[in-house]
């Protein structure tokens, strides 16, 4: 048997034993139904949502130009409705890119600070033409979508999108379901981020639809807030006790969260990012 054939057999065996082979996620594109008029768009490890009504479609993060072109064709073929609104969760390029593809003929909406970053960083996307600061309600085909700014969290322009009829909330990057926050917490604001998650906990919904990973519930939001509080509190205390970053990486185990995804890979990076955050806003004796 050749080496290649053996590898192919092994992959088949893995696929049979634990579902889809690992590489399938790298290229996967799909639109799946969530609830009511709400659907989820997947492009590999990134997700957004779309609301499909009689009066047209509201789409969210386009992810990138190629993904957006695929989604546009899928919407035309499957639903036959025009795209009326394109809403960005925040300015980061891995979610907002490709807006020029989906936004053509639609109203492009984002937080006021997202517009500033999109223009300033020359993001490869459509510049939002409608911006807001606190809250904006969009009505489409008898459905309401509430766009809500919760303060600084992951970026200074992250919004959540509430679909009351579907009892669903689309929240990207600042709430992770059953896993740690991403790597070293780039473009983060603490402790503001924790306050933003608390505001989500106080909202009325059942399904938490994140920008990465599986759909969760409010319990996942609470668990994520508890993790962030523990990380923030323990890194702050360790800094006050005079520990170095290297010491913190071994002393702060966050063991009660070891069941969460990426615990092994990202715990130390999370500590590193939080140490950087805390160093910005404290001065020892
Ligand atoms: Zn982001």
State residue 24's pLDDT score: 62
End-to-end Cα distance, the chain:
68
CA–centroid distance, 90 to ligand 1, in Å, is 7
How close is the Cα of 2 to the center of ligand 1, in Å? 44
What residue spans of the chain are helical by DSSP H? Answer: 3-18, 24-27, 65-78, 93-96, 99-102, 112-120, 192-201, 218-240, 245-251, 263-280
116, with CB counted inside 10 A (0-12, 13-18, 19+), is middle
36 Cα to the center of ligand 1, angstroms: 27
- In the chain, pLDDT over 90 holds for what percent of residues? 90
Give the pLDDT confidence of 270-285 residue by residue, as tens digits. 999 999 999 999 999 8
Cα pseudo-dihedral 205, 195, 178, 89, rounded to 10? 70
Q: Report CA(88)–ligand 1 centroid distance (Å).
A: 11
Mention every residue, 6+ apart, whose C-beta is less than 8 A from residue 280. none
d(CA 268, CA 235): 11
3-state secondary structure of 2: coil
Ligand 1 centre to CA of 18 (Å) is: 30
Report the distance separating Cα 76 and Cα 69, nearest Å.
11
How many angstroms separate the alpha carbon of residue 54 from the centre of ligand 1?
A: 31
Q: Which phi and psi angles does 129 have, rounded to 5°?
A: -100, -25
Q: What is the pLDDT along the chain (285 residues), one digit of tens a residue?
A: 444 444 444 443 333 334 444 456 777 999 999 999 999 999 999 999 999 999 999 999 999 999 999 999 999 999 999 999 999 999 999 999 999 999 999 999 999 999 999 999 999 999 999 999 999 999 999 999 999 999 999 999 999 999 999 999 999 999 999 999 999 999 999 999 999 999 999 999 999 999 999 999 999 999 999 999 999 999 999 999 999 999 999 999 999 999 999 999 999 999 999 999 999 999 998
**Model confidence, pTM:** 0.91
Residue with tokens 């322009």: 157
Q: Which helix (H) or strand (E) holds 162?
A: strand 159-163
Q: How far is the CA of 152 from the centre of ligand 1 (A)?
A: 12
Cα(188) to ligand 1 centroid in Å equals 9
**Ligand 1 centroid from CA 232, angstroms:** 19
Nearest to 177 by CA among 259, 91, 270: 259
Neighbours of ion ligand 1 (CB under 5 A): 92, 173
Nearest to 101, CA basis, from 86, 91, 80: 86
Find the 154 Cα to ligand 1 centroid distance in Å: 6
């Amino acid at each position: 048997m050749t080496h290649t054939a053996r590898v192919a057999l092994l992959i088949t065996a893995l696929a049979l034993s634990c579902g889809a082979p690992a590489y399938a996620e790298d290229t996967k594109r799909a639109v799946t139904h969530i609830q009511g008029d709400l659907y989820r768009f997947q492009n590999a490890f990134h997700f957004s949502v779309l609301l499909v009504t009689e009066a047209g479609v509201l789409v969210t993060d386009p992810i990138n130009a190629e993904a957006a072109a695929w989604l546009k064709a899928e919407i035309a073929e499957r639903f036959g409705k025009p795209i009326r609104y394109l809403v960005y969760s925040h300015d980061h390029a891995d979610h907002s890119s490709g807006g020029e593809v989906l936004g053509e003929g639609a109203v492009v909406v984002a937080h006021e600070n997202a517009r500033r970053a999109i223009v300033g960083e020359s993001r490869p996307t459509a510049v939002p033409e409608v911006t807001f600061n606190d809250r904006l309600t969009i009505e489409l085909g008898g459905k309401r979508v509430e766009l809500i700014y919760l303060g600084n969290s992951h970026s200074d322009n992250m919004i959540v999108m509430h679909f009351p009829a579907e009892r669903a909330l689309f929240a990207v990057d600042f709430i992770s379901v059953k896993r740690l926050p991403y790597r070293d917490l780039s473009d983060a604001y603490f402790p503001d981020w924790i306050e933003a998650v608390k505001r989500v906990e106080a909202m009325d919904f059942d399904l938490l639809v994140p920008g990465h990973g599986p759909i969760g519930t409010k319990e996942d939001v609470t668990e994520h807030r508890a993790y962030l509080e523990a990380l923030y509190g323990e890194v702050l205390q360790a800094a006050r006790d005079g520990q170095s970053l290297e010491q913190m990486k071994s002393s702060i185990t966050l063991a009660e969260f070891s069941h969460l995804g990426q615990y092994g890979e990202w715990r130390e990076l999370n500590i590193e990012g939080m140490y950087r955050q805390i160093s910005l806003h404290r001065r020892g004796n």
